[in-house]
Amino acid sequence: MKYVFVSGGVISGIGKGILASSTGLLLKTLGYRVTSIKIDPYMNIDAGTMSPLEHGEVFTLDDGAECDLDLGNYERYLNISLTRDHNITTGKVYQKVLEKERRGDYLGKTVQIVPHLTNEIQDWIERTARIPVDNSGEEPDICIVELGGTVGDIESAPFIEAVRQFQFRVGSENFALVHVCLVPVINGEQKTKPTQAAIKDLRSLGLTPDLIACRCPKELEPTTMSKISMFCHVGPDHVLGVHDLNSTYHVPLLLKEQKLDEFLVKKFGLGDSNLSQERI
């Protein structure tokens, strides 16, 4: 199983969901079976009890789970059908750990955020990634995991730590991280400082981005890209520009032009030889 994690910095609502769905779609068009998981770092068990004025509309899955609209994006973009386990919230993970604690599963140990909660998060991701989500009924090849919220928030800290450990659990050849940042335009100038600060935060938590996706109102200028590459210590080809488009359904094409799919195939050591002919 290969994992692509999508995290975000600077502000929330930056387009992580669209980027995660579009990445999945590009990999699906290459013939891979793609699934996705959404992590929402709030204490609610699900979005069903949250005001739509605050949280936005709820998306209901086939099994009745009420979750974030991003799961609807995944289902539409990838033509898959997800389950309640594909939406992990802080509330759900705590509930699971506390149930285990009451049963005595921890055998007298002191139950802690690290390692008990972080292990539960990693187990949950690994277990859910294997659930078949399309008509084939087969195990997916690639799992896209979107980490909601903003890196650096207290809320997302246990998840970030779990992801940090997870890269070693699955190995670097099976793990890629795309960090989505904002490049604001002030007086006509594209500003890279918020992205630099966000990448610094990410690195301080032990995570290294494979790709930096820059959301910008306008197309990213080559000088902005090279500045981000230099100050954020990633190769020039590892900076992706995602400017505002009339339709979010054009985002996959924009990412394909910048060879996101080729990068991931190479990073994961995937090739057509791994696929049976009818899946291509």
Nearer to ligand ADP, 216 or 270 (CB): 216
Q: Name the minimum Å distance from CB 244 to ligand ADP.
A: 4
Residue 163 CA, chain-centre distance (Å), reads 10
Q: Name the minimum Å distance from CB 150 to ligand ADP.
A: 9
Q: Name the minimum Å distance from CB 272 to ligand ADP.
A: 30
Q: Name the minimum Å distance from CB 61 to ligand ADP.
A: 17
Nearer to ligand ADP, 212 or 270 (CB): 212
The residues binding ligand ADP (CB under 6 A) are 8, 12-18, 70, 242, 244-245, 248, 251
| Residues β-bridged to residue 2 | 142
**DSSP one-letter string for 207-252:** ---SEEEEEESSPPPHHHHHHHHHHHT--GGGEEEEE--S-GGGHH
Nearer to ligand ADP, 42 or 275 (CB): 42
Nearer to ligand ADP, 219 or 272 (CB): 219
Nearer to ligand ADP, 81 or 248 (CB): 248
Q: Name the minimum Å distance from CB 70 to ligand ADP.
A: 6
Nearer to ligand ADP, 8 or 140 (CB): 8
Residue 255 CA, chain-centre distance (Å), reads 15
Q: Name the minimum Å distance from CB 14 to ligand ADP.
A: 4
